[in-house]
Amino acid sequence: RKEVEQDPGPFNVPEGATVAFNCTYSNSASQSFFWYRQDCRKEPKLLMSVYSSGNEDGRFTAQLNRASQYISLLIRDSKLSDSATYLCVVLSYNFNKFYFGSGTKLNVKP
Amino acid sequence: NAGVTQTPKFQVLKTGQSMTLQCAQDMNHNSMYWYRQDPGMGLRLIYYSASEGTTDKGEVPNGYNVSRLNKREFSLRLESAAPSQTSVYFCASKDSSSYNEQFFGPGTRLTVL
């Protein structure tokens, strides 16, 4: 079983739409959780960390449900520039290893 | 600050050739990582180094070796390249603060013929 699982998409949405991505992780002892963004043929970059209380950064909201081992990312008012692959990332219990989901591709269309 | 740098950016090898991918970071991070990324499979950890002088295997270490030369540099060596090692290789380092953010280099695109 994979450590982190994501729906690969693609999600094709019009500008201005709200879109949600989900991710599940298998190790209940995992410590930290993140969403990274990866543009085509570029390196991943941190979008936001995910906290148990939920956190928001502008149009982006991340949620963590430890009981269900589930992480979500909500993007409101999608922009063309949001088109990218979104990677769900989990840090192991000993803070040493990161586990990546295979990514969810988002295409925002005019 | 340059962040994380990787060389080379592109490389084509023939089966059986060897090469070393170089990685350096100037952020004074303790932890460094090597990943490979294949289409549809996300990033998979090859090796990591939690601190200078230590290295550990990740999910897919076979066919690779690493050296943590000093705190700044972490190299990845392919002793005898195989077509299955055609991939994009990313080096990363980790912030030691409570944020635990990983910073990535721009990647090396390797093709093994």
Note the pLDDT tens digit of each residue in B48-73: 999 998 999 999 999 999 999 899 99
Shortest distance between the Cα of A83 and any Cα of chain B, in A, equals 17
Q: Is B105 helix (H, G, I), strand (E, B) or coil?
A: coil
B38 touches chain A (CB under 8 A): no
The whole-number average pLDDT for the span A33-38 is 95
pLDDT-derived band at B98, boundaries 50, 70, 90 = low
Structural contact between residues B19 and B63, judged by C-beta atoms closer than 8 angstroms: no
pLDDT at A41: 87
pLDDT-derived band at A9, boundaries 50, 70, 90 = confident
User: What Rg, from alpha-carbon coordinates, does chain B have?
Assistant: 13
B90, pLDDT greater than 90: yes
The whole-number average pLDDT for the span A8-26 is 95
Shortest distance between the Cα of B45 and any Cα of chain A, in A, equals 8
**What span, in angstroms and rounded, lies between the C-alpha atoms of B107 and A40?**
12
B10-28 pLDDT, tens digit each: 999 999 999 999 999 999 9
B100–A32 CB contact, under 8 Å: yes
Percent of all residues in chain B with a pLDDT value above 90, rounded to a whole number: 83
The shortest CB-CB distance from B90 to any of A43, A49, A97 is to: A43
Q: Where are the beta strands (DSSP E) in B38-80?
A: 43-49, 56-57, 64-68, 74-78
Q: Which residues pair with A107 in a beta bridge?
A: A12
Structural contact between residues A82 and A108, judged by C-beta atoms closer than 8 angstroms: yes
> Whose CA is closest to A63, among A22, A104, A31?
A22
Residue-wise burial string across B10-22, b where 16 or more C-beta atoms lie within 10 A, e elsewhere: ebebeeeeeeebb
pLDDT at B9: 96
Per the prediction, chain B carries an average pLDDT of: 93
